[in-house]
Chain A
């Protein structure tokens, strides 16, 4: 992992992206999207986390810890399965 991994400019751009996405999330919340607004809010949250993970947390660069890139989706998958199986109960009671 070299110090040049990410340039200053990249960092600032990523930050701008995060701010813009926050703005989008807030304005979308004001609109009436029927059942979709939660989904949109969550998608935006995932996009933001993705930016942070890839750039601020350097997952994009890989290197020796490349397999970690699979860990985050892996753990999220586990969490979704936990939630999904719980909902098999809650939603069908």
Chain B
């Protein structure tokens, strides 16, 4: 029912959704902390085998994409859809770059014979099996969120082009932004927990 548009409501709804997302990842963080507590040494050693430079790169990529996202909204609200589009497209590009890096990272691991249920992995210490179980599920779920985000970003791109959203009606883009920033925040925690264990 378009006629009762309620911008405050939409945003509240989005925030509530984000809260539930926090707890979705929260479940994984609980698991992570317990297993790390139970296998501190092994988690440490396993983490050293991850590609830290790539992790840093990806962190920078996502942080920058958050900036471009915020700028895109900023310009849309200011009434310059052209620049908004530009920054939105950059966000999209950075998101893709992030996923590409993830893809590289995963393939390298798979080539080493480290993937779920791999015989090579199962030969190792139990804690390491768990580490990689968590690694694949947490970064995987996060990657999935990035992927979904990319889909929504593309739709937004299309909407701006069609002038369906503009400075009068920017809530869809703002909500997309909220989602995208949350995905970024999740990564901000995943990064030290997997790549920086010392």
| A binding-site residues for B, Cβ under 8 Å | 3, 6, 8, 11-12, 14-15, 18-19, 22, 25-26, 29-30, 32-33, 37-38, 41-42, 44-45, 48-49, 52-53, 55-57, 64-65, 68, 71-72, 75-76, 78-79, 82-83, 86-87, 90-91
- The residue on B at minimum CB distance from A29 is B196
**In the complex, are the beta carbons of A26 and B56 less than 8 A apart?**
yes
Inter-chain contact count A-B, CB under 8 Å?
Answer: 111
Is A3 in contact with B74, judged by CB distance below 8 angstroms?
yes
Interface residue tally of chain B, by bracket? 35 or more
Q: Complex Cα distance A79/B188, Å?
A: 17
Most chain-B Cβ atoms within 10 A of its Cβ — which of A30, A41, A65, A76? A41
A91 to chain B, nearest CB (A): 7
Contacts of A56 in B (CB 8 A): 66-67, 69-70, 177, 181
> Which of B32-40, B107-115, B123-131, B152-160 lies at the interface?
B32-40
Interface SS, A side:
helix
